[in-house]
Amino acid sequence: MSLLMNATQIQKLPVVTVNGGEDVAEVRDVVYSPAQGRLVGLTLNKRGRFAGRLREVLTAESIHAIGKDAVMILDDSALLAPQRAEEVAGVGGERNVVGDDVITEGGVSIGTVVDLALVVGSTGEVVGYRIDRKQGGPAYIPLPAQLAVSGSTLLVPDSTLEFVRDDLVGLGAAVEEFRARLEVS
Amino acid sequence: MDSFRAAAGRKLIGRDEAEELGTVDHLLLDIERGRIAALVVGRGRKARLVDWAEVRSFGPDAVIVPGADALRAPDGEREQAAAAGDLDVTGKRVLSTSGTDLGVVSDVTFDPADGCLDVLHVGQDTVPAGALRGIGSYAAVVDQGPPSPAS
């Protein structure tokens, strides 16, 4: 399993060009498609305090790497022109999973989604959610490769309960096992 | 081997009239060719550049050039940034291409005979100069494999 990060850890990271070594923007928000289970892109702020929103966006494909200290792009040309920014921002507006209740197919409520867990340094697949449990505080749950989403509730397989983990490291190990289990059943 | 940190402050001497033309502030890199592109003499609006091709000898105590004609004004955006000190690699933050902060460049070693770069010293580690991908006002970017596993 590659490096996992929370979506909120990606916010505020500088966006730096590999070929230029310049910080051209910083991450404003992570745009995620729950239906596809992957990162769609990033919306951006200008660099510097109170600098405001940048109209350009980054698509997941134009990102060279998301690391723990910076989002790397090859050069300025990775920034998507404002005219096409709707392609990214539109998906984000479609649906936001943060705040959704997570309920198993057996009808057990696990908690509320507070953050996403993404595989970074690759396609930006979202492999889990950070949740706030009704009892026991924060935890992570793995996601199936395909997830049906509707309304304000996420319905997850019953076996999710066995794979609730305390931290990202635990989640990283749990995702593959969880998905293997789903394939067998 | 010589180093960027050691070269800073070194005298620049014109050979024709043995005149002191200034002191080296820092060195400007040619990343694609893996060598020193130019010496930046002074800093700010008065900064001048000396192309490496003008250097007759990069000695331990002085850098010898033919004469005052070897100094020229910075040309273009990149050289202007260099004159302002924005591209000085020593003290620069180092990011890997996978987005991990590796530390700060404490020094760079090079061959004074031909200006070819050797390694960057980053914290306790060294990074081969050939791994450099870009350098700008924010960071020097170096090639490094995918991020290490979280566990």
pLDDT band at residue B149 under the 50/70/90 scheme: very low
Per-residue pLDDT, A148: 67
Per-residue tokens: A138: 């924060």
ipTM reported for the complex surpasses 0.85: no
Per-residue pLDDT, B151: 34
Alpha carbons within 13 A on the beta-carbon side of A163: 28
CB contact, 8 Å: B149 with chain A? yes
More confident residue, A173 or A49: A173
Nearest CA in chain A to B139: A21
CB contact, 8 Å: B55 with chain A? no
Q: Label residues B62-80 b or e (16+ Cβ within 10 Å = b).
A: ebbbeeeebbeebeeeebe
Q: Is the pLDDT of residue A93 over 60?
A: no
Per-residue pLDDT tens over the stretch B57-73: 999 999 999 999 999 99
From the list A21, A22, A71, which residue is nearest B99 (CB)? A71
pLDDT band at residue A137 under the 50/70/90 scheme: confident
Q: How far apart are CA B17 and CA B19, in angstroms?
A: 5
* Domains of chain A, earliest start first: 4-94 (3.90.50.10), 101-184 (2.30.30)
Of B129, B27, B92, B90, residue with least CA distance to A21: B92
Per-residue pLDDT, A61: 87
Per-residue pLDDT tens over the stretch B11-58: 999 999 999 999 999 999 999 999 999 999 998 888 999 999 999 999
CA distance A31 to chain B (A): 19
Q: How far apart are CA B68 and CA B95, in angstroms?
A: 38
Mean of all residue pLDDT scores within chain A? 85
More confident residue, A54 or A94: A54
CA dist list (Å): B5 to A28, B106, B121: 38, 8, 11
More confident residue, A125 or A91: A125
* Domains of chain B, earliest start first: 2-83 (2.30.30.240), 93-142 (2.30.30.240)
Per-residue pLDDT, A79: 85
**Contact check, Cβ <8 Å, A21/B134:** yes
Q: Is the pLDDT of residue A155 over 60?
A: yes
Pairs from B127-133 (Cβ < 8 Å, separation ≥ 24): B127/B94, B127/B102, B129/B34, B130/B34, B132/B29, B132/B31, B132/B34, B133/A18, B133/A19, B133/B31, B133/B97
**pTM of the prediction?**
0.84
Alpha helices in chain A (DSSP H): 7-10, 86-94, 168-184
CB contact, 8 Å: A16 with chain B? yes
Per-residue pLDDT, B54: 96
**Contact check, Cβ <8 Å, A71/B96:** no
Nearest CA in chain A to B146: A121
**Contact check, Cβ <8 Å, A121/B146:** yes
Per-residue tokens: A70: 């910076």
Per-residue pLDDT, B70: 94
CB contact, 8 Å: A51 with chain B? no
